[in-house]
Amino acid sequence: MKLTDPDRLFPVESAVRTLARELYESVAELPIISPHGHCDPSWFAKNERFPDPAQLFVVPDHYVFRMLVSQGVPMADLGVPSVDGRAVEDDPRKIWRRFAENYHLLRGTPSSMWLDHSFEHVFDLDERLSADTADAYYDHIDAKLAEDAFRPRALFDRFGIELLATTESALDDLTWHKMIGDSDWNGRVVTTYRPDNVVDPEFEGFADNVVQFGALTGEDTSTWEGYLQAHRVRRAFFKAYGATASDHGHATARTEDMLQADAAALFSKALAGTCTPDEADAFRGQMLTEMARMSLDDGLVLQIHPGSFRNHSASVFAGFGRDKGFDIPSQTDYVHALKPLLDAVGMEPSLTIIVFTLDETSYSRELAPLAGAYPALRLGPPWWFFDSNEGIKRFREATTETCGFYNTVGFNDDTRAFCSIPARHDVARRSDCAYLANLVATGRLGLADAHEVAHDLTYRLAKQAYRL
Amino acid sequence: MKLTDPDRLFPVESAVRTLARELYESVAELPIISPHGHCDPSWFAKNERFPDPAQLFVVPDHYVFRMLVSQGVPMADLGVPSVDGRAVEDDPRKIWRRFAENYHLLRGTPSSMWLDHSFEHVFDLDERLSADTADAYYDHIDAKLAEDAFRPRALFDRFGIELLATTESALDDLTWHKMIGDSDWNGRVVTTYRPDNVVDPEFEGFADNVVQFGALTGEDTSTWEGYLQAHRVRRAFFKAYGATASDHGHATARTEDMLQADAAALFSKALAGTCTPDEADAFRGQMLTEMARMSLDDGLVLQIHPGSFRNHSASVFAGFGRDKGFDIPSQTDYVHALKPLLDAVGMEPSLTIIVFTLDETSYSRELAPLAGAYPALRLGPPWWFFDSNEGIKRFREATTETCGFYNTVGFNDDTRAFCSIPARHDVARRSDCAYLANLVATGRLGLADAHEVAHDLTYRLAKQAYRL
Amino acid sequence: MKLTDPDRLFPVESAVRTLARELYESVAELPIISPHGHCDPSWFAKNERFPDPAQLFVVPDHYVFRMLVSQGVPMADLGVPSVDGRAVEDDPRKIWRRFAENYHLLRGTPSSMWLDHSFEHVFDLDERLSADTADAYYDHIDAKLAEDAFRPRALFDRFGIELLATTESALDDLTWHKMIGDSDWNGRVVTTYRPDNVVDPEFEGFADNVVQFGALTGEDTSTWEGYLQAHRVRRAFFKAYGATASDHGHATARTEDMLQADAAALFSKALAGTCTPDEADAFRGQMLTEMARMSLDDGLVLQIHPGSFRNHSASVFAGFGRDKGFDIPSQTDYVHALKPLLDAVGMEPSLTIIVFTLDETSYSRELAPLAGAYPALRLGPPWWFFDSNEGIKRFREATTETCGFYNTVGFNDDTRAFCSIPARHDVARRSDCAYLANLVATGRLGLADAHEVAHDLTYRLAKQAYRL
């Protein structure tokens, strides 16, 4: 028995399935372009073995552990590090067993598909994970992890990754990227400029961060002009480590294009910690437009990831901190929110702004119409809960008719779960080919065109949009 | 000719249809668990014959008569009782004929599927209802209704209902449930605690209701503490008649967790009739959290049914009162609205809160992410207009990838149309099995797992979630 | 090779495809009823040849040219007339070549399907448009356009159009409709009353327009009563040129039913140019209710097209004016917005109000429930970006279960691209038949009923709803 079906995610009707398989086979082996994600660059810098199966598959993957939490398993029992000093499980085998006993909770989810893919294709396992197979799995994976072939760089090469972008804070020293660059390994791991902690007045320690930002750049970040200049300097530093993009995770998609004097005044309030929530939101919005203007000069692509209500549970945040599966999508307006930015720079063909959403209702109503009009705007792939088979299907069905394929930018895996990268790209390739096969079978696209589009969605568009 | 296709609602591709049929056959005969609905308990207490075909199928079913009204048939002509004294049709045969003449208006709706199912499977009819067959239908059904086998208790048993929950106001004396309990009939009909009329400051007669509530419970409901205590007493009374859940129909999903002194002050304003609309909404929201806290003590499941704009037409409400097909869904926020409740009790694994929605956009954006994280939260099945084939399909497609199957709670028929109960559960079973068959056929779920999930969705999850 | 697949848009499973084809064949040749659109009546009045291929297919079609603009082609290079005096391309062959070189951008869009349909079925072309075939296409189409058989009236007859409604401003003199009526040609081209420029206080030149409105009607439009009377007079004038409907394009679906004295006061402010944005919106909302009351007298159908954020790009609007592909859908509330109108006239069976939306989330949540209840309300077909195969599929799946087929009104092409009319109606017929075939194949509709419904959706409902 195999864990994965070779025809998974293809349409069920035989002739269309054949078409989908044919399209998929033409792109299945293309290199992986991963232009946005959250892998830890120290893996590739140090190239140490991954510690154990639980640390590889459970503890860092909030997609996985939140599902067990949702059914009553305490987060501490899954080894998730606490920030309030409470004890958490430190026996990886016990964590693994709890995961295995509850593996049925993931039925029908993309997580189970990614995990089964990794188990089978990375670790050569072929029985379903369960309470019964938990220990055998653990021993098998743990033994593999001790082999050189399962160290980060070897897996990177084996996965066929042509480029992997990580995401670092504006205050990061990029030491791991330097180590990677100085090493004899040829894997291409680049950084991305993520300045939320010096852009968001509501970020913990914002004012101190801005001081540190000044120290790092040698600019006087107590003034608006110096602060902007510090961004320019830091963006150049990130570019030196391969960055081709910046990234911005804001609660809303709000943008502003205020007078510079007003922006400077708002910046002073932000530093003083006296912004109202609305003013903090306005400042973040102004900074998107400022970043876009810098992009016109330095060529970095501007990514906007709005609409997540971060750290929804006060008690989980107090006990375990950020990124624990309690970031919840919320309704997001784009049509009004992006207007200041688009009026400022939206008609610039030399600029690329990639907008993401967690609010699927905006695909057909707002984002595809906007991306199908403004030259600077591109529509990012399905994000977070939506980079799944159904999520990708709904994305294509809701956007293609309005903005076509060429205002989209290929796939992002956006993951911190390294082994899921090939699985996620495989799901995206299969889902896109299934969609294309349906278009061909219903007379909406010629077969030769479908082959070209499949290649574009898998490879070309990501390289082009992210300027790789 | 038969009215219903034995393969209805199954996928069209032959191999997937076979899979769906196989899954369906394994659950088709399981008992019906109906943990939430609006049947009249007096039917089972008195066990009298249903008066006539129009009273059984047309007059009480606002799904049906509103569709005729929408095409210009006056509500009075369909025998819907007026509250303003206007004359309404009292000849059941005339009502039936009007219904039959307009039966084509229901083409493509779940109502027509439920009705055809009842006509064929309950009444052994096999020709389509139309103007031509109206009288034959009437005579046939009317004759059947005179038989003992068509009395409420006999039908209940024949339908294979293991448990039926009705819904009663907090002021109800539960006399019918007492009669059922005292009878020699073994059918399990339980009540549900629905306190809207003593919880909603905008409910007609709220202050008087609260006085009556005090009288019923022997508590001083003029004080906040006494009022809360009255709820505790009344919940215990409902539990004695089998209640395992409370239910709350609010205009929004707003919850609050204010200081008790502030809640007490707001309660005083509510009693005095001086709440602003926003304060009334806040009070309802506070009561959800209070109810959840009581649930931690007494184990009742908390159901929240928000987002219906009740009695949208002023003239229909003035002429015919509540529940006349003019309750219209409206946009509903959950991510902000539920936060106070979830911060208060959301991490409690011993609590079950079941949230419903009429706003399908919240499935993937808000409700599945929340239910996939908080241990206390479960996602209710598609409600009202959405407990249909397409509605169930969209529900599963939008939620499973994010919260799996085990944060959902099986099916609710939520009906006051008794004969539609087996038809509705059949639609749910077929729709779920069609969904599961597609997962199997596309390599997203193993067949053995699919069988287990089919059983869970049909039977186990409802019993477990509702503690039956 | 053909450009279009004879089985396009039909379901892929063989038996269902056969059903869909059978249903389609029964309606494929029915006459086209086009009750709402934006063709230029001067085409049929003057019956001159269309100037060239670029003027026929590219320059006036904002669906098409915005897609090229979105990928960096300057609007001026596509010959779109400027309003700021900048030079634009005036060589139609150069425009055509740019279009042809970028034709791949339209892959997967309804525009490519409409265009291919026109190229093949109107112009007998059978190779895909591309850079290579650009000149051959140009020469071929240009030669055809010189033939009498390709003049507007001949195409109108060849397309099988039984009726075409155009849309004219309340200030239009309807001279072209008069010329058509006075001619010996029998084609039925009627007008539609579109008073936005005398109803919307924020319309450019509103106060002047109202003065001109008075001059045209002989009424004193400086008073509220005279202004309303002018509408009555003008509606009668439009009726004399065949109008059976009015149409209203508002930013929101807001309606009001204020006291006449308050409306009169608001009208004075509107004339004085002192309305706040909210007051302007309220005035537009009041006028919808006034129009509905006039409809009760004169029988015109009331169409409401809300929810488009017009002219989103300030620079495109400044450079090229209205209708340039930068009108973006926005979130639209109906359940609260329509209540004043529906309380005033919603229960009138003699009135027809057709509501459209660009916000698909409102289909199942608000519009189908409203249309399935109020006798005066009908649900317009998918509009703008959504009159596509997927758009129509989502429309039927989201609305049919709640409001059935008979609260919908057939198809609108809503186009200013004349040659796309048969293509668009063909897409609608195929999409509807595909939907119906799926209902039949899954036991949700009988085959005979499906045939009747197919005919209704294609022909009868449009004639009936628009009183043609």
Please indicate whether, in this complex, the C-beta atoms of C336 and B309 are within 8 angstroms of each other.
Answer: yes
Chain B residue numbers with beta carbons less than 8 Å from the beta carbon of C16 are: 12
B109 to chain A, closest Cα gap in Å: 24
C302 forms bridges with which residues in the sheet?
A: C246, C353
Per-residue pLDDT band for C2 (boundaries 50, 70, 90) equals confident
A1 pLDDT more than 70: no
In this structure, how many other beta carbons lie within 10 angstroms of the beta carbon of residue B261? 9
Residue type at position C125: L
Average pLDDT score over residue span A395-412: 98
Question: What superfamily would CATH give domain B50-150?
Answer: uronate isomerase, domain 2, chain A (1.10.2020.10)
Handedness of CA B26, B30, B35, B36 (dihedral sign): positive
Which residues in A406-425 are b (16+ Cβ under 10 Å) and which e?
A: bbbbbbbbbbbbbbbbbbbb
Rounded CA gap, C309 and A373, in Å? 13
CB contact under 8 A, B444 and A330: no
Beta bridge partner(s), residue B168? B193
* Dihedral of alpha carbons B29, B34, B39, B43, sign: positive
**What would the mean pLDDT of C6-33 be, rounded to a whole number?**
98
Indicate the residue of A370, A442, A443 with minimum beta-carbon distance to C328: A370
Asked if C353 and C376 touch (Cβ cutoff 8 Å), the reply is: yes
Q: Cα–Cα distance between C367 and B328 in angstroms, integer?
A: 9
pLDDT tens string A414-442? 999 999 999 999 999 999 999 999 999 99
Contact C291, C245 (CB under 8 A): no
CA B166 to chain CA mean position, Å? 9
Q: Distance between CA B245 and CA A403 in Å, rounded?
A: 48
User: Which of B109, B360, B391 is nearest residue C404 as measured by Cβ atoms?
Assistant: B109
Report in angstroms the alpha-carbon separations of B400 from A32, A389, B120, C329, C364. Answer: 28, 11, 33, 29, 21
| 3-state SS assignment for residue C302 | strand
Query: Which residue of chain A comes nearest to C331, CA vs CA?
Result: A365
Q: Which residues of B touch A385 (CB under 8 A)?
A: 364, 368-369, 401-402
Q: Do residues B166 and B140 lie in contact, with contact meaning Cβ atoms separated by under 8 Å?
A: no
- Angstroms from A100 CA to nearest CA on chain B: 15
Residue C139, number of CB atoms within 10 A of its CB: 12
Encode pLDDT of B204-256 as tens digits.
Answer: 999 999 999 999 999 999 999 999 999 999 999 999 999 999 999 999 999 99
Residue A426 Cα distances to A411, A458, B50, C115, angstroms = 10, 10, 59, 34
Mean pLDDT of A366-373: 98
Amino acid A169: pLDDT: 98
CB contact under 8 Å between A402 and C12, yes or no, is no
Q: Which chains touch C (3 or more CB pairs under 8 A)?
A: A, B
Contact call for residues A396 and A435 (beta carbons, < 8 A) = yes
Measure CB to CB from residue A397 to each of C109, C325, C390 and give the nearest one. C390
Would you put residue C205 in left (φ > 0), alpha (ψ -120 to 50) or beta? left
% pLDDT > 70, chain B: 100
Of C335, C349, C439, the CB nearest to B328: C335
Task: Return the CATH number of C14-49+149-465, one of 3.20.20.140, 3.40.50.1000, 3.40.190.10, 3.20.20.70.
Answer: 3.20.20.140
Contact: B365, A358; criterion CB under 8 Å: yes
Provide the 3-class DSSP secondary structure of residue A379.
Answer: strand
pLDDT in tens, B150-206: 999 999 999 999 999 999 999 999 999 999 999 999 999 999 999 999 999 999 999
Which residues are CB-neighbours of A265 under 8 A, at least 6 positions away? none
Q: Judge whether A464 is closer than 8 Å to chain C, CB to CB.
A: no
A388 touches chain B (CB under 8 A): yes
Q: Which residues pair with A161 in a beta bridge?
A: A32
User: What number of C-beta contacts closer than 8 Å exist between B and C?
Assistant: 128
Measure CB to CB from residue B329 to each of C339, C366, C406 and give the nearest one.
C366
The total of other beta-carbon atoms located within 10 Å of residue B265's CB is 13
User: What span, in angstroms and rounded, lies between the C-alpha atoms of C397 and C407?
Assistant: 14
| B13-48 pLDDT per residue, tens | 999 999 999 999 999 999 999 999 999 999 999 999
Contact A292, A353 (CB under 8 A): yes
Is-contact A387 A356, C-beta < 8 A?
A: no
pLDDT for residue B2: 84
d(CA C176, CA A88): 81
* Mean pLDDT of the region A342-363: 98
For residues C31-52, average pLDDT: 97
Residue of A79, A95, A188, A76 lying closest to A135 (CA atoms):
A95
pLDDT tens readout for residues C224-261: 999 999 999 999 999 999 999 999 999 999 999 999 99
pLDDT digits (tens, 9 = 90+) for C330-341: 999 999 999 999
3-state secondary structure of B35: coil
**Tokens at residue B225, please?**
């503490």
Kindly report, residue by residue over B267-302, the tens digit of the pLDDT: 999 999 999 999 999 999 999 999 999 999 999 999
CB spacing of B108 vs C443 below 8 angstroms: no
- Interchain CB contact of A449 with C (< 8 Å): yes
Nearest to C148 by CA among C63, C70, C49, C245: C49
Interface contact flag, A442 C108, Cβ < 8 Å:
no
Query: What does the alpha-carbon distance between residue B183 and residue B173 come to, in Å, rounded to a whole number?
Result: 17
Interface contact A375-C328, CB threshold 8 A: no
419-448 in chain A: CB under 8 A from chain C: 438-439, 441-446
* Half-sphere exposure of residue C235: CA atoms within 13 angstroms, side-chain side: 23
CA pair distance C458, B359, nearest whole angstrom: 30
CA distance A375 to A378: 8
- For residue A2, the model assigns a pLDDT of 84
Q: Say yes or no for a CB contact (<8 Å) between C312 and A347.
A: no
Contact B108 C445 (CB under 8 A): yes
Chain B nearest-CA residue for C403:
B67
Question: Does the beta carbon of A80 lie under 8 angstroms from any beta carbon of chain B?
Answer: no
Q: State residue B1's pLDDT score.
A: 55
Nearest 5°: the CA angle A211, A213, A216 is: 115
Which tens digit of pLDDT belongs to each residue from A282-321? Answer: 999 999 999 999 999 999 999 999 999 999 999 999 999 9
Mean pLDDT, chain A, as a whole number?
97
The C-alpha atoms of residue C355 and residue A52 are separated, in whole angstroms, by 60
- A401–C389 C-beta distance less than 8 A: yes
Nearest Cα residue to C463 out of C162, C222, C234: C162
Confidence label for C137 from pLDDT (cuts 50, 70 and 90): very high
User: C359, A371: Cβ pair inside 8 Å?
Assistant: no
pLDDT for res A357: 98
* Contact B449/A at CB under 8 A: yes
Residue B128 with chain C: CB contacts under 8 Å: 446
How much is the ipTM here?
0.97
Q: Tell me if B105 and C400 make a contact (CB, 8 A cut-off).
A: no
CB C142 within 8 A of CB C53: yes
Question: What is the mean predicted confidence (pLDDT) over B56-63?
Answer: 94
What residues have CB less than 8 Å from A118, skipping those under 6 apart?
A57, A419, A420, A422, A423
Compute and round to an integer the Cα radius of gyration of chain A.
Answer: 22
Beta bridge partner(s), residue B304: B248, B355
Residue C173: exposure state from Cβ atoms within 10 A (0-12, 13-18, ≥19): exposed
Q: Count H helices, E strands: chain C?
A: 22, 11
Q: Is the pLDDT of residue C1 over 90?
A: no
CATH H-level superfamily of A14-47+159-465: Metal-dependent hydrolases (3.20.20.140)
Give the pLDDT confidence of A28-52 residue by residue, as tens digits: 999 999 999 999 999 999 999 999 9
List, by residue range, all CATH 1.10.2020.10 domains of chain A. 49-150
Which positions in chain C touch A15 (Cβ < 8 Å)? 12
The phi and psi torsions of C7 (rounded to 5 degrees) equal -100, 20
Among C17, C63, C324, C390, the residue to mutate for chain A (most A Cβ within 10 A): C390
Residue whose token pair is 């057939």: C410
SS3 at position A8: coil
Our measurement of the distance from residue C33's CA atom to the centroid of its chain's CA atoms, rounded to an integer in Å, reads 13
Residue from B107, B394, B424 whose CB has the most chain C CBs within 10 Å, to mutate: B107
**Residue to test with chain B: of A70, A310, A364, most B Cβ within 10 A:** A70
Domain range C50-148, CATH architecture: Orthogonal Bundle (1.10)
Q: Which residues of B touch A325 (CB under 8 A)?
A: 372-373
Residue of chain C minimizing CA distance to B15 = C13
Of C365, C401, C441, the CB nearest to B109: C401
Pick from C312, C383, C389 the residue to mutate for testing the A interface (most A CBs within 10 Å): C312
Question: Within chain C, which residue ranges are assigned CATH 1.10.2020.10?
Answer: 50-148
- pLDDT at residue B454 above 90? yes
Nearest to C16 by CA among B110, A442, B394: A442
Output B156-161 pairs: Cβ under 8 A, ≥24 positions apart. B156/B44, B156/B187, B156/B189, B157/B187, B159/B32, B159/B421, B159/B422, B160/B29, B160/B31, B160/B32, B160/B422, B161/B31, B161/B32, B161/B34, B161/B187, B161/B421
Give the separation between CA A57 and CA A63, rounded to whole angstroms. 10
Mean pLDDT across the stretch A53-82?
A: 96
- Pair of tokens at residue C157: 């007859």
B248: which strand partners? B304
Chain A residues closer than 8 Å to B401 by CB: 108-110, 385, 388-391
Chain C, window 308-347: residues with a beta carbon less than 8 angstroms from a chain B beta carbon: 333, 335-336, 339, 342-343, 346-347
Nearest-Cα residue of chain B relative to residue C399? B109
For residue A453, give the chain C residue with the closest CA.
Answer: C107
Quote the minimal CA–CA distance from B227 to chain A in Å: 29
Architecture of the domain whose range is A49-150: Orthogonal Bundle (1.10)
Instruction: Say yes or no for a CB contact (<8 Å) between B335 and A316.
Output: no
C282 touches chain B (CB under 8 A): no
C-beta atoms surrounding B110 within 10 Å: 25
Q: What is the mean pLDDT of residues B322-333?
A: 95
Confidence at residue A233, expressed as pLDDT on a 0 to 100 scale: 98
Bridge partners, residue B379, by sequence: B355, B408
Asked whether the beta carbons of C64 and C57 are under 8 A apart, the reply is yes
Give the number of other Cβ atoms within 10 Å of residue A139's Cβ: 12
Q: 3-state DSSP call for residue A165?
A: strand
Using CA coordinates, name the residue in chain A closest to C328: A369
**CA distances to A53, B465, C25, C106 from A107, in Å:** 20, 19, 43, 38
CATH architecture, domain B14-49+151-465? Alpha-Beta Barrel (3.20)
